[in-house]
Structure 1
Amino acid sequence: MKLLLIGSASVHTFRYLAGIAPHVEVVHLVSSGPLPERYHAANLGRVEQVDFSLRALRTASRIAALIDELQPDMVHVHQANSVAWHARRALAGKTTPWLLTTWGSDVLLLPQQNALMKRMVAANLAAASAVSSDSLHMAAVCRQLAPLQRMDVLNFGMDALPAEPDIAAKPLSVLSCRLHKPLYRIDAIVRAWAEVEADARFAGWSLTVAASGSETDALLKLARSLQLQRIHFTGFVAPDVLAGLYRDARVFVSVPESDATSISLLEAMGHGCLPLLSNLPANLEWVLDGVNGAIVEDVARLGAALKTQLLRASDDAQLAEAVALNRRLVQEKGLQQANMARFAQIYRELL
């Protein structure tokens, strides 16, 4: 099977390419940036760089010409935004089946911007031979936006289930590793941490804030203004370093305003962290409040919720019970190898 993958220059696109490559004869890529060397598969074919902005009116014709030249058996498009808009126009009139995978903001946030964006997303969804999403909630939103020919609920999965964590050896550490963008509300985590540092019960706890983004400088300034002593900003870290941060954390906190099933959540669950999450439908598909993690109803009260989870995570027995359940969930439906095989099966069924 010859696969043409079309997606933005994101680590998610690149991880998917590396994961699906063993299941196809050759995989070609159309993206908005270069493919890092570490994601080059042995059967990688052409790699083309294009502009996916709505102003790039020649992109569709470039993709169409590439399809005519390569004659792929299957086209897989990632994100129902302008990426799919260009791909849909390129595929118009062709018989090549194509799968459209939604990522989250493309169907949860973009259609709310204005009527034009909503029509574009709906048209992209309706034109695809099949659509996939990584949560039941996103699948329902897609069906509300447009009539679909087929829908599959399937996530990309984490690379592999880590070794069984040594709960007793875990330090008293909290981890935040989402991007420093307004969507992820890292500032709310920093302010909540100020409440933790002010409480003598948690004198031994520390917070690690990994990743980076447009708000990094503002977050550093906020931490200084709050005179926080036990917060550490790492910046962007390599995957092996991030894995170590997960292993060392007892609590993982992530409170975005909107989200699908995030790989970071699966990684945190797999490595033995107790998740503290915002009240989003996709999160509720993985975490039951008070059982294998916690859901904070109001981010304004994140400080109190965080302190409650620190008390729970301080108890090795309670943490071990939640970790066992979380690792079982990841094993059953959150591993890349098994989920890539399921994507390949979707390809075969469409063909």
Structure 2
Amino acid sequence: MSQRKYKILVIGPGGRHIENFIERIRQDAQEIVLITDREFESNAVKEKYRVSFSLKRLMNHIQTPKKIAEIIKCTNPDIIHVHQLNSVAYYSVRANRKHKLPLVVTAWGSDVLINPEKSRILKSLVKYVLNRATAFTADAHFVGDTMQKLVPEKKLDVTICNFGVRETNLTIEKKQVVYSNRLHNKLYRIEEVLIAFSKFYQKNKDWKLIVAATGTETEMLQKKSIELGINEVVEFPGFVSAEENNKNYAKAKIYVSIPESDATAISLLEAMYYECIPVVSNLPANHEWVQDGVNGVIVEHIKDEFISKALPLLDGDAGSKNRKIILDKGTENASRSIFVGLHERLISMK
């Protein structure tokens, strides 16, 4: 796919997002150098460096950009790709001032949608990066639009791209299962999922709910299921492996994700790939994938019993439509093509 192999410096907090990104570009990058804040194992990365991205430690404001600048100088990459439009990007942009290499920043969602509203300092930090980075990626158009509104005086170079879904040959017969796998904290409103399911279950006794993942509210949610009288049909498996997660999508008919705020959730795309009917929050990013009453349900009122609205869609071709949507624009190969194409374009403009 790549016109030529290139050397890339990836900067971001260690974790699944960085792991997924490196997997997308590893075939096309001649060499991948990583700067992160924790232990990270990957045979695709030639060199790894650790720094602190914290804003609270005042010495980081001097030491972190200085260390990143030194790494840029000694590794001499063709391009820099930074993940998270927060302190990570702020330190990276400052470190790149003298080197003036093409620098891409990938926004993760809350860094653009929530942080700038928390304080003027965080808003100024985001605007500093927006005014100085070469290009940006976001996983939803409305995230890109929000970035542009923050700096109306500059036309941003924004590419819409997510990490994509890995295609599999997994085939499991669908069952009367509702699946939820978002984190158990306030943002994701899992308690409302339990309440809605308890109402749904009163008329649909052959259904069960799987509530994967964990979080600060796990114990409370388990007690809530007992209080609602649905603990016999609600399963709390905790964090599940990728393989088990895929099996849960494959056997579930309905997928529920109703956070207060979100960009494009990879879990939504995965659920659609496995032909689930998604029941999701009324958020701009979800409207880019789900059309209410056509291939899923947009929840207008969180206190309603919203799960049963998915039942009529089970009798049509909504599931196969969802899979086709993902095959067309949401797979790993599609993601790889977009990311690598962006890198090659920016490198060619050096």
TM-score bin, normalised by smaller chain = over 0.9
The amino acid that maps onto 1:71 is N
Residue 190 of structure 2 is aligned to residue 194 of structure 1: no
CA distance in structure 2 between the aligned counterparts of 1:255 and 1:336, rounded to whole angstroms: 25
What do the CA deviations read for 1:202-251 (whole angstroms, capped 9, x no partner)?
A: 10000000111222122122222223221000101110111111111000
Of 244, 248, 262, the residue aligned with 1:245 is 248
* Structure 2 equivalent of residue 113 of structure 1: 118
Residue 164 (structure 1) shift: 7.7
What do the CA deviations read for 1:26-51 (whole angstroms, capped 9, x no partner)?
A: 11111122224xx432xx21111221
Of 217, 234, 240, the residue aligned with 1:215 is 217
* Structure 2 equivalent of residue 133 of structure 1: 138
1:180–1:212 CA contact under 8 A, matched in 2: yes
Alignment of 1:281-292 (within 5 A): 281-292=284-295
335-344 vs 61-70, which moves further = 335-344
* Structure 2 equivalent of residue 328 of structure 1: 324
2:176–2:252 CA contact under 8 A, matched in 1: yes
* Structure 1 equivalent of residue 33 of structure 2: 28
What do the CA deviations read for 1:47-99 (whole angstroms, capped 9, x no partner)?
A: 11221110233221111111111011110001101111111111122221110
The runs of at least 4 consecutive aligned structure 1 residues that moved more than 3 Å come to: 162-166
* Structure 2 equivalent of residue 308 of structure 1: 309
Give me the CA root mean square deviation: 1.4
The amino acid that maps onto 1:297 is E
Residue 149 (structure 1) shift: 3.9
2:11–2:35 CA contact under 8 A, matched in 1: yes
Of 172, 181, 184, the residue aligned with 2:185 is 181
Structure 1 unmatched runs, 5+: none
Instruction: State, as a whole percentage, how many aligned pairs show the same letter.
Output: 36
337-346 vs 102-111, which moves further = 337-346
The amino acid that maps onto 1:279 is N
1:207 match: secondary structure: strand
2:336 match: secondary structure: helix
2:79–2:103 CA contact under 8 A, matched in 1: yes
2:297–2:309 CA contact under 8 A, matched in 1: no
Of 224, 227, 242, the residue aligned with 1:225 is 227
CA distance in structure 1 between the aligned counterparts of 2:223 and 2:25, rounded to whole angstroms: 42
Structure ranking higher in helix proportion = 1
CA distance in structure 1 between the aligned counterparts of 2:116 and 2:43, rounded to whole angstroms: 34
CA distance in structure 2 between the aligned counterparts of 1:181 and 1:125, rounded to whole angstroms: 30
* Structure 2 equivalent of residue 267 of structure 1: 270
2:24–2:335 CA contact under 8 A, matched in 1: no
Alignment of 1:15-54 (within 5 A): 15-36=20-41, 39-41=42-44, 44-54=45-55
1:257–1:278 CA contact under 8 A, matched in 2: yes
Residue 343 of structure 2 is aligned to residue 347 of structure 1: yes
CA distance in structure 2 between the aligned counterparts of 1:322 and 1:230, rounded to whole angstroms: 26
Q: 1:40 to 1:184 in 2, by over 3 A?
A: farther
1:272 match: secondary structure: coil
